[in-house]
Amino acid sequence: MTFARTASGLRNYNKFYKVEAIVYIEGRMLEKTGEAQPSDDTKVFDVIFYTSLFKIFSPHNNIKLKIVGCKENVLDYHDKIISEKIENSFAIIDRDYDGIYYTRTNHEKLIVTHGYSWENDFWSTKLYLELVSLLSLDAENACNIVRSKINRSLRRLCLINRANLVTQYFGTDIFPVSKKGGDKGFRYDVNLKYPLPLSEIKRLFNKIPDEVKNDSELHDLVVATELDFKYLIQGHFYEYMILQILSYAYKVTSGIKHNMVDFNIIKNLAFNSFKLKPDYYLEPATLSHYEQQFSRVLHSDN
């Protein structure tokens, strides 16, 4: 059974699913086919993340998270919730680059992630260090490897992402945000001492047009992008980086020579830990952010 995106349809969601609250989020929707395909949204990673947050930051224990596609779709649902004053319905979107060149207004029933996206918020230092300690036969060495690789990666990743943001202001880019490697992206090799080599940084910087380098606004734009990595590095790539580094540290400290590591096993272990005590694993600034976000939207619901 489906509901149209109408006021009456949205109001009926809570009753239909027999839940206290409905939450609309971004995410890939299943393609429509001639056959009904069973799906279990409770096993989708971002659903697990947001459900965990609702259980600690809201009075709602029984909620339904509904994946509705792109950010614009989520905002459409939010606008309908507000205009029709639909209770116990909320929307969540990724921050993306909001707040750098533009600012999205804080809407009444809209929650925005702390970092670029939920992956940036999920993969905290406490979580990935605890995880690699469980995976490895030499926890101390594994944690040192992870810290070193991440520190060496983040500095350079921030540099190229800042350069990319500046060039995007002029209507171009030096790499597509969605690309991890290849001719259109950039090379990231966790086996190297510095996974993002200087040769790659130079190659990408050479793609910056001269008109950008010589523009009078360049200095102000560079200053505007002096941000923490969680706001600069796209969430999918940040998770990809973390998983690569955890896998590398696990193999090196456990004497494993082959490359057969299932990232989903690592993710499953991480989410099983996180959902039991999310407030323990979230970075302090991220925890404070969500406390404020939930307080605002829940207050507007009263």
Give per-residue pLDDT as tens, 49-80.
999 999 999 999 899 999 999 999 999 999 99
pLDDT digit string (tens) for 85-94? 999 999 999 9
Give percent of the chain above pLDDT 90: 75
Least confidently predicted of 103-112, 183-192, 214-223: 103-112
Residue 198 has pLDDT above 50, yes or no: yes
Residue 179 has pLDDT above 50, yes or no: no
11 — pLDDT class (breaks 50, 70, 90):
confident
Q: Which amino acid is at 55?
A: K
Segment 271-278 shows an average pLDDT of 97
261 — pLDDT class (breaks 50, 70, 90):
confident
139 — pLDDT class (breaks 50, 70, 90):
very high
Segment 271-283 shows an average pLDDT of 97
Segment 185-208 shows an average pLDDT of 95
pLDDT at residue 16 in the model? 75
Residue 187 has pLDDT above 80, yes or no: yes
pLDDT digit string (tens) for 213-233? 999 999 999 999 999 999 999
1 — pLDDT class (breaks 50, 70, 90):
very low
User: Rounded to 5, what percent of the chain is helix, strand, coil?
Assistant: 55, 5, 40
100 — pLDDT class (breaks 50, 70, 90):
confident
Rounded to an integer, what distance in angstroms lies between the CA atom of residue 107 and that of residue 40? 30
Reported pTM: 0.90
Contact (Cβ atoms closer than 8 angstroms) between residue 122 and residue 49: yes
Going by C-alpha positions, the residue among 246, 270, 240, 238 that lies closest to residue 45 is: 270
Q: Which amino acid is at 37?
A: Q
Least confidently predicted of 84-98, 204-218, 254-268: 254-268
What order do you get walking across the sheet with 110-112 strand by strand?
Answer: 63-67, 21-25, 89-93, 110-112
Rounded to an integer, what distance in angstroms lies between the CA atom of residue 92 and that of residue 66? 10
